[in-house]
Structure 1
Amino acid sequence: MINNKVNEIDGPILVIGASGFIGANLLRYIQNYRNDVFGTSFSGSGWRLDDINSNSIIHLNKYDKSNFLDVINKINPKTIYDCSSFGAYSFEEDAELIHKTNFLSLIDIFEILKDRNISSFIHAGSSSEYGLNSNQPIESSEMIPNSQYSISKIAASNLINYYGKIKNLPAVNLRLYSVYGPYEDSSRLIPTLCKKASNKKLPKFANKSISRDFIYIDDVIDSFIATSLAMNSKIYGESFNVGTGIETTLLDVAQTSKKLFNIPEEPQFKENLKRSWDTENWSANTEKIENHIGWKAKISFEEGLKISFDWWKENFKKRDFATLSKKSSLGGNKNSISAIVACYKDNEAIPIMYERLVNEFEKNNIDYEIIFVNDCSPDNSHEIIKDLSSKNPRVIGITHSRNFGSQAAFLSGMEIFNKESCVLLDGDLQDPPELIEEFIIKWREGYDVVYGDRVKREMPFYIEFFYKSFYFIFDKMSTLNIPRNAGDFSLIDKKVARWIVECDERDFFLRGIRAYVGFNQVGVEYFRAERMFGKSTNNLFKNIGWAKKAIFSYSSLPLHIITSIGFYTTIMTIILGSYSVFMRFYNPGDVPRGITFISLLIMFFGSLSILGLGLLGEYIGKILEEAKRRPRYIRNKIIIRGNERESFN
């Protein structure tokens, strides 16, 4: 039975990583008793929180210190449960992201919390911290890391120890063993076992002698609550093992399953199913947490397995089992895409865009999310996006505080998307969603960026001529190889998108940045139609602005030209002056006379000076914009499942 003293915990309560397995269960349990608990998610809220009141879910980019500070200021939590992590699964291999998520972001969090009056910070650590030293180690045992994940978790536990012991922060690290139960990632052993068992079959196991310390999720929740209630200065910075202390071999798992679910077939064991960092025996010594916290696991493996089976069996009817795993979007299969749609005065086009995107994704069997970025449109785009989001939880809305432009809108969406790649589209339907199928083919062939190559535009021929002329000139002037007829419409792999977001320029020109970051890029030709509804928001002055943005961001040739002209005119002036002096002595009649000649010289050099100052001013103006470091956009609201939330940017 879970600790029934949850109402005694100091609130408000914040659960970081509430869309994950442990965080979702913890949030759900506490919400049964209190209404002052909030959970964070990075993009949307995920399948684990589908039936949770969206008002209790807060968008949080854990890597953005200012974002975390905004969340803390808004909620002012007294108890924080940090359940976020990356790298626990074999398919999560990005070493940089592992350390950024598990350790580096924790530094910023603690720097903010050290001056706050919080009651407890409970961190979900891992038994992986022990690495190769995995057979019932005590908390002070030697750490022998055997993976990047292990290293990051060791670093986090040392950080907690430092802030707890030296900075007097009420923080504790719980080293969790093999947690299982409802809402677990479907790629894991117990969910896979339950899936097979529902058909009276068994999965293939690794070596039968491998043992794990399986602990049911309710016992883990109990340990979080018990630790909060037992928090005192003596345990600040400490780590505690959270497990049953019982070794359960894979043979035990198979035999228990056969007996519990009446499975006739015999289990099969294969040595090569073992993961690279697995050890033979992995079990907890729980004496420390029993003595200091008074906590002990209560649910047996057989009991927990039966509860898990019943839960999963019910959910097999409601959900596609394969999609209930991070592996579906991180496994390298290239089958998940986030569509990011920049919207301004596109209220009539948004529903059509939505239908065409959904049809395209479903036709190609793509796991998707659609992020509509409303760039403070004066029409009813906000209400339309809100309605779509209420009908389809895969639709997320972002509303900006004012109109920042399409480049900022795309960037705003790119910072929160959560799939393997993103597709950028203008909301006016000039970019056909049906082309995404060809993008996917090229992406799966190995290209990291697939952009739309506009071979023809639906516009007057003279305007198209000016467009093509500009791109030809820009291509010659630019220091980068920027495709001439490519716009923003493109599919961008997540690793490329991450580098684009890292480019911290204020005056953001997406197609230039996209070319700058490099990677393997290819174009797909298409005909760009006219805007379906209304008139284009572009005009002559805006197009001139786009041209200036492109040229002054990616070319220093105008400065070189002015420098060259200045050099050669100086030479010519010296020659002309020498000639005039010479002729004054030898043939005074041929020396240029009169106000006309002098006026022409003054006008020529004056115009040249003004042009040079103007060009120099353009570059200085860009320097000024970068130096001011103003936000590239400000989010006003985020819409998830039809509910508006403060974005905290």
Structure 2
Amino acid sequence: MPKLSVIVPCYYNEENIPVTTRELVANEANFPPEVTFEYVFVNDGSGDNTLGALRQAQAQYPGRIRIVDLAGNVGSYNAIVAGMAHATGDCLSVITADLQDPPELMAQMYSHWQRGFKLVIGNRQDREETGLSQTLAKVFHWLMKNLALRNIPDGGFDFVFFDRQVATEVLKLQERNSNVFYLMVWLGFAYVNIPYTRRKRKIGKSRWTLSKKIKLLIDSLMAFSFVPIRAISVLGLGLGIIALIYGVYVIALKIISPNEPAGWTTLMVVMLFVSAFQMTALGVIGEYVWRGLDASRQRPLYVVREVLNPDEIPRKGPSYADHA
């Protein structure tokens, strides 16, 4: 009997939990009767009563819900890794707690998994969201596809269905400051891409701020692409050629017109331009150095305060290091 573990990272989702659990449990009717389910809700250091709402849901649906309560907020991707480490299913899925991604798509994903695909991606072909949020999302995924991972689908994704082997390999990597979904694609398993339209959030307010989006873009590019560091080399070479040409021009001008006054404006423009490039280069190099330092510390990605298993009393949970 195959077991499906549905991982749900939660951050300030107190109002969403009752609706989310009800829809997830109702979605079981779309699966063959032999499939069993567990729902791994990861409370990512929420400051509201998300944990209390999860405890109520666990009591309402006995035998189904496992709660992983993290000691602090570590970000949704690290929370997903925590859920993967505590999930026990033969296949797993990740879905958002606000139900912007349709749970009913999981049944179709499951059918592809049965046919041997290790990874099934729910690909956002369109969004009900508009404005700046939609524009930023399109720019982010265009950059990732063209500068980092060319085999990712257009439009981006964070709704996936994958095999236990994929989860095991991701946990082995112990990646820091990365993108767990892109890691799944990077592993190289053939995947199926299922398009869908992402819905608007109806309950609560998104905590996915602009600063978090910018950090995700930087982390993803640094983790999967050498383009930033290569761009510095190319730009530096280009500036060197320009400087050489300009140097020849200055020498020639000095020979032709020895009394010609020096170009103060030109000199300052060149100095400011080169200084700006140097500072940018140092910033990019510093990002790579910091990531190497962060990895060398070997601090855990998350620390679990407690794990509330179905029909069990709470127990103190292990950190990520215990699963690595």
Taking the aligned partners of 2:196 and 2:89, their CA distance within structure 1 comes to 25
Match of 1:400 in 2: 70
Deviation digits for residues 41-78 of structure 1 (CA, Å, limit 9, x no counterpart) = xxxxxxxxxxxxxxxxxxxxxxxxxxxxxxxxxxxxxx
Task: Note if 1:339 corresponds to 2:9.
Answer: no
Residue of structure 2 equivalent to 1:358: 25
> Shift in Å at residue 473 of structure 1?
2.0
Q: Which residue of 1 aligns with 2:41?
A: 372
Residue number among 573, 576, 591 corresponding to 2:243 in the alignment: 573
For the residues of structure 1 that align with 2:206 and 2:57, how far apart are their CA atoms?
24
Does the 8 Å contact 2:178/2:220 carry over to 1?
A: no
The structure showing larger relative contact order (alpha-carbon pairs under 8 Å, at least 6 residues apart) is 2
Contact 1:400 1:637 (8 Å CA) reproduced: yes
| Alignment CA distance shift 1:554-1:592 (3 Å) | farther
Q: Which residue of 2 aligns with 1:306?
A: none
CA–CA separation in structure 1 for the residues paired with 2:261 and 2:9: 62
In structure 2, the partner of 1:542 is 212
Please report how far the alpha carbon of residue 374 of structure 1 lies from its aligned counterpart in structure 2 after TM superposition.
0.7
> Could you say what secondary structure the match of 2:86 adopts?
coil
Corresponding residue for 2:124?
A: 454
**Aligned residues of 1:360 and 1:434 also touching (Cα < 8 A):** yes
Amino acid at match of 2:9: A
Structure 1 segments (4+ residues) deviating >3 Å: none
Tell me, in whole angstroms, the C-alpha distance in 1 between the residues paired with 2:313 and 2:48: 19
Identity of aligned residues (%): 28
Matched, 1:601 2:248: no
After TM superposition, list the pairs within 5 Å mapping 1:114-129 onto structure 2.
Answer: none
In our comparison, the structure showing a higher alpha carbon Rg is: 1
For residues 123 and 136 of structure 2, the distance between their equivalents in structure 1, rounded to whole angstroms, comes to 17
Q: Give distance in 2, aligned partners of 1:347 and 1:377.
A: 9
Within-5 A mapping of 1:548-587 = 548-587=218-257
The CA distance in 2 between the partners of 1:345 and 1:442, in whole Å, is 33
Is 2:30–2:104's contact at 8 Å kept on the other side of the alignment?
no
Shift of 1:615: 0.9
- Report the Cα distance in structure 1 between the residues aligned to 2:15 and 2:261, rounded to whole angstroms: 68
Deviation at 1:628, TM superposition (A): 1.3
Please give the alpha-carbon distance, in whole angstroms, between the structure 2 residues aligned to 1:540 and 1:377. 19
Separation of aligned partners in 2, 1:645 and 1:402:
17
Structure 2: how far apart are the matches of 1:573 and 1:352?
A: 63
Letter in 2 for 1:580: V
What is the TM-score with the length of structure 2 in the denominator? 0.92
Tell me the C-alpha RMSD between the 2 structures. 1.7
1:16-38: CA deviation from partner (whole Å, max 9, x where unpaired): xxxxxxxxxxxxxxxxxxxxxxx
Q: Determine helix, strand or coil for the equivalent of 2:106.
A: helix
Secondary structure of the structure 1 residue equivalent to 2:178: coil
Structure 2 residues not aligned, in runs of 5+ = 320-324
Name the counterpart of 2:295: 626
Aligned counterparts, 1:236-255, within 5 A? none
| 2:188 corresponds to 1:521 | no
Residue by residue, what CA displacement relative to the aligned partner does 1:68-121 show, whole Å, maximum 9, x if unpaired? xxxxxxxxxxxxxxxxxxxxxxxxxxxxxxxxxxxxxxxxxxxxxxxxxxxxxx
Count matched residues. 315
After TM superposition, give the deviation of residue 550 of structure 1 in Å.
Answer: 1.0
2:164 is matched with 494
CA contact (8 A) 1:408 1:508 kept: no
Q: Any conservation in 2 of the 1:390–1:642 contact (CA below 8 Å)?
A: no
Once the two structures are superposed, what CA deviation does each residue of 1:359-380 show, in whole Å capped at 9, x if it has no partner? 2224312211111111111122
How far apart are 1:621 and its partner, in Å?
1.4
Q: Residue 290 of structure 1 aligns with which residue?
A: none
Asked if the contact 1:638–1:647 (Cα under 8 Å) also holds between the matched residues in 2, the reply is: yes
| 8 Å Cα contact 2:121-2:194 kept in structure 1 | yes
Q: Tell me if structure 1 keeps the 8 A contact 2:118–2:166.
A: yes
Structure 1: which 5+ runs fail to align? 1-327, 330-335
CA–CA separation in structure 2 for the residues paired with 1:596 and 1:535: 51
